[in-house]
Amino acid sequence: MKKIPLILFGAFTLSALSTAAERPNILFISVDDLRPELGCYGNTAIQSPNIDRLADSGIVFEEAYCQVPVCGATRASLMTGLYPTENRFVTYYTTAQTDAAGIQDIPSWLKDFGYTTVSNGKIYHDRNDNSASWDDVFRSKDFKIYHNPENIALPDSEQPAYEGADVGDLDYAGGPVMQKTIEDLRRAKEAGTPFFIAAGFTKPHLPFNAPKKYWDLYDREALELADNPLPPKGAPKEAIHQWGELRSMYGGVPEQGAVSDDYARTLIHGYYACVSYTDAMVGELLDELDRLELRENTIVMLWGDHGWQLGEHSLWCKHALFKTSLNAPLIISAPGYEAGQRSTSLVEFVDIYPTLCELAGVKLPTHLQGKSLVPILEDTSTSIKDAVFSRYHSGDAVKMEGYHYAEWGNGAQMLYDHSRDPDENLNVANNPEYAEVIDRMSRRLKEHREEILSLEPAIRAAAGVVGDNSPPKWKSRTFQEKSASVGQALQIYVNWRASDADGDRLMYSMVSGPSWIKLANKEYGRFDGTPPADYLGENVVIVSVSDGFNPPVQARMELDVEPAP
């Protein structure tokens, strides 16, 4: 485990010394795939005593929404304070350093004001994303950790989606993050300088692997299944997905159709166990803050990067524009503000960056697109915005006026009236009684897109981009190519899928993909290859396009390999 030299907790200029020493510390806790499935959010079945006591010391935001319901994109958006667009913050493998090149993220900005910045665990999806923003980055193995011999022996795609081995806290992903963060808190206490320490816990991300003692907290048979396991009535097909994250990566999951009630209950049991495991790790951090007597001068913020479906709407995983995918926990406990508060004001994750700046007493960078939540901390009846926005691939969504509306590029729509249907079981987009509501919300989405587009010159200026040359654009950042057959040569051109408003010459490159396919021509984006039998099923190629002036723009090419005819 890498040790941070004590000098890092004091490495800023003497001119900033007196001001920085007065700034509050920040403990920034992220929890992967955490929906508002916590005691402090009203779930009496789950055991989350430590996050609940954090909530008791601060404010719970009941109506907090992520910008994108997938890991890489939502985290890049949150950390840079920028809304997603059609070509920015799109996929799970999004990186801020590519999609928002030159923009100072939260740790980079705070470093300028004397903070020591430490990233432990999963903060960005890619551990190397904006790595220069941090004084130290720690990321131990945090995906598919198995301990039961029968699971270890299985091929990767056949390993189960859950495990409850009888091991200690340090043996799964959360323990090392907790341990390293405690070490950093102790060093920071000794140094006496302000810190921004981020602790990113991956559970309850799949697979639902947690020590047995957390599984034992629950009576499996008492766990309730989703009471709305079917797609909402009238929901467009664009709103529903096949939860490939679960189906394609784990054994025991049917290739199509629903899982059995027994399997669904096991998944819910595993999700709950993982939440309780991470809750225990959060408790260790809070206890250490108290022991070190740092709590009175430390802002503690906890957030889940997006929601998650546990069988609702026929879905598992995230990747949707339903409230179950977009609504996520946000809890802030800050010195000087009243404890035990709750807010139903609409807030979104682009608001986190400006909130931290105001709480820390530092000026705000010019590129930010969210609003500070401090007025709500001062008065929970305050509303700082009347709408929040999310998007996923070609779909855009807005929550306002008690309605949740989404529309897709092909004209598909869905509207849910939360005053009558809080669980989103009836799409009323085709109900003429809601025609004016749909028109109003669709116009609001259009205004939002136009506003964000109008801000691009300022963002480019903040990033230090000289001139007005625009980056190339893909027609879609995720696209399906024609199928390939085992043993038969395939040739694909992707150059028609990208364009450049400035007429710059475009060059293509293959970032990653299966070994059987190669980029044969960079200028035309031509891919050649012959798939072997062991690549049956979905194959994914990450391809990028560059105009020679702007950072390359990536896209995801999906193609199915079928058996030989």
**Which amino acids are annotated catalytic?**
71, 125
Q: From the centroid of its chain, how far is CA 35?
A: 11
Burial of 246 (0-12, 13-18, 19+ CB in 10 A): middle
Helix/strand/coil for 400: strand
Q: Closest Cα to residue 478, out of 80, 75, 87?
A: 87
Q: Closest Cα to residue 163, out of 125, 200, 215?
A: 215
Phi, psi dihedral angles at 558 (to 5 degrees) = -110, 135
Q: Closest Cα to residue 301, out of 386, 344, 360?
A: 360
Cα distances (angstroms) measured from residue 267 to each of 165, 218, 233, 261? 15, 13, 25, 10
- 122 close to 110: Cβ distance less than 8 angstroms: no
C-alpha triplet 384, 385, 386: angle, nearest 5°: 140
Q: Closest Cα to residue 322, out of 224, 188, 418, 246?
A: 418
Cα distances (angstroms) measured from residue 526 to each of 104, 218, 507, 508, 545? 35, 54, 11, 9, 12
Both tokens of 359, joined, read 């709480």
Give the number of other CB atoms < 10 A from CB of residue 16.
Answer: 13
- 59 close to 376: Cβ distance less than 8 angstroms: yes
Secondary structure (DSSP) of 469-502: PPPPEES-SEEEPPPEETTS-EEEE-GGGEE-TT
DSSP annotation of 88 reads: B
Q: Closest Cα to residue 113, out of 360, 295, 461?
A: 360
Residues paired with 64 in a beta bridge:
347
- 456 close to 497: Cβ distance less than 8 angstroms: no
- 277 close to 174: Cβ distance less than 8 angstroms: yes
HEC states along 146-163?
A: CCCHHHHCCCHHHCCCEE
Both tokens of 265, joined, read 């209950």
- 329 close to 302: Cβ distance less than 8 angstroms: yes
